[in-house]
Amino acid sequence: MSSPGWPGAPGRAARGACYPDESQSPTRPEAPLSNSVHPSISSSGLTHPESDGELRQAREHDLFAKAHAFTRAEELVALGLNPYFRAIEAQHGGAVTVEGREMVITGSNDYLGLTQDPRLKEAARAALDDFGTSCTGSRFLTGTLTLHEVLELRLAEFFRKPAALTFSAGFLGALSIISALVGRHDIVYFDRENHASLFDAARLSFGTLRKYAHGDMDALERKLAEDSRKPGGRLIVTDGVFSMSGHVAKLPEIVEIARRHDARVMVDDAHASGVLGAGGRGTAEHFGLEHEVDLIFGTFSKSLASVGGFVAGDAKVVNWIKYKARPFMFTAALPAMQMAAALKALEIIDAEPWHRERLWENVRRLRDGMSSLGFDNLGSTTPIVPVLVGPDETTVRFWRALWDEGVFSTPALPPSVPAGQAIVRTSVNANHTPEQLDRVLTVFEAVGRQLGVIV
């Protein structure tokens, strides 16, 4: 099968691509324009070209030309090989209904399985009755509800920080925090596998972005040492759990390096909140470093079974973000329904640790099963269990074979992952049954052997 050119995978199941090179674009270079001009160019009155040179110039000067020339997605759809934007009709536990048939879903980030919990639904309904469907204003003006303040107090308490602030989306939170804190003379240090939202946030700030190879603590310290005579502040930002590899950040080493170089530390715990730590408080609790991490950033759209983002930290710093972050100030406030669901999820996480215990039982079942079959899981120790396939084309064929057998997974292709290291990203939640996970392992084994990924 010839490859039509795979479009890059979307980040973190809507959130999670890193840009491995300084020079790499967020998307792969587009194919050259076709020989025919799209009707919108000639019919718009922009030009009536009479030569090839004039034709090329017409394409170059039409802003929409690249969009009309982009055909890869349509080609994949026609071949039945587009893994993205697959519509789910219903969800129940570890299974979903797609195109009228039940499938085991392995790519969801609903780690504790709370999105279908009747208590969250009831809390959301009650908030809907009290506050309606929208705040219709920004937090800065008319959009602050008592629920915002209650949720922020509860988040600060849960993460053992003096204050917290909520955002209408996790991506928006990243943009708000980093753009507000990192100024023109400041320097921010990123693991190259950090989430895409963090990279875009760094670009929105006026500071300098310095990247180090994934998990390379020597490189991080070396870059901080190189910058020791430069003015401005220092901020080290890392994912707590990396969304593609499932690796846990080397937080103890990061904290030690930060101390030596007077740097602040921010952890993106989107995939760690509710999952890591004795109480589900994330990476800092997991390592016993809650008082050493300056800012804990996260999202409600995973273990907290809602939508939105948050940051917890020093009260003065949170207040600065509240009054200085333009993405926060100029965005409509998080609706009451989402906040009520997140509040209920926090309550359940505190009171019912068995959700997390069952999640980890499922993690061990899937991860150990994959390893015993010979799959490379990239050393993951978290609910994200990647399966390394390698070539893009083989990875897409692997995904399609899984799909045909009733396993809903997602491939991750460059630039979400390094070139030549495409993966099928799987993850488990507390609602998966042993039978469902065994079915996943059976299908993976058959497809892996068929495509020569395992022997």
Catalytically annotated residues = 243, 271, 302
What are 240's two structure tokens? 């707590």
Quick check: 201 and 186 in contact, CB under 8 A?
A: no
Residue that the structure tokens 């991506």 belong to: 171
- Give the HSE-up count for residue 435: Cα atoms under 13 Å, Cβ half-sphere: 3
* In contact, 305 and 275? CB cutoff 8 Å: no
What's the Cα-to-Cα distance from 17 to each of 60, 183, 243, rounded to whole Å? Answer: 29, 24, 8
Question: What is the per-residue burial (b if ≥16 Cβ within 10 Å, else e) of 142-172?
Answer: ebebebbeebbebbbebbebebbbbbbbbbb
Six-digit token string for 322 = 């509240």
Contact by Cβ (8 Å): 194, 237: yes
Distances (CA, A) of 96 to 107, 109, 260, 358, 407: 11, 14, 49, 20, 10
Instruction: Tell which residue, 286, 50, 17, 325, has the closest CA to residue 180.
Output: 325
Token pair of 350, please?
């505190």
Please answer whether residues 266 and 405 qualify as being in contact, where contact means their C-beta atoms are separated by less than 8 angstroms: no
Structure tokens at 313: 């930290």
| Sequence-ordered list of residues with C-beta below 8 angstroms from that of 80, at least 6 positions apart, any chain | 400
User: How many Cβ atoms sit within 10 Å of the Cβ of residue 91?
Assistant: 16
Residue at 190: amino acid letter: F
Pairing mode, strands 422-427 and 187-191: unpaired
Does residue 437 contact residue 366 with C-beta atoms inside 8 Å?
A: yes
**Which class for 68: exposed (0-12), middle (13-18), buried (19 or more C-beta within 10 A)?**
middle
Whole-number Å distance between alpha carbons of 205 and 266: 15
Structural tokens at position 387:
């399966």
Tokens of 334: 């998080």
Please state whether 422 falls in left (phi above 0), alpha (psi between -120 and 50) or beta: beta
User: Which residues in 192-233 belong to E strands, given as ranges?
Assistant: 208-212
Q: Which two tokens stand for residue 246?
A: 């499932």
**Pair of tokens at residue 78:** 């026609």
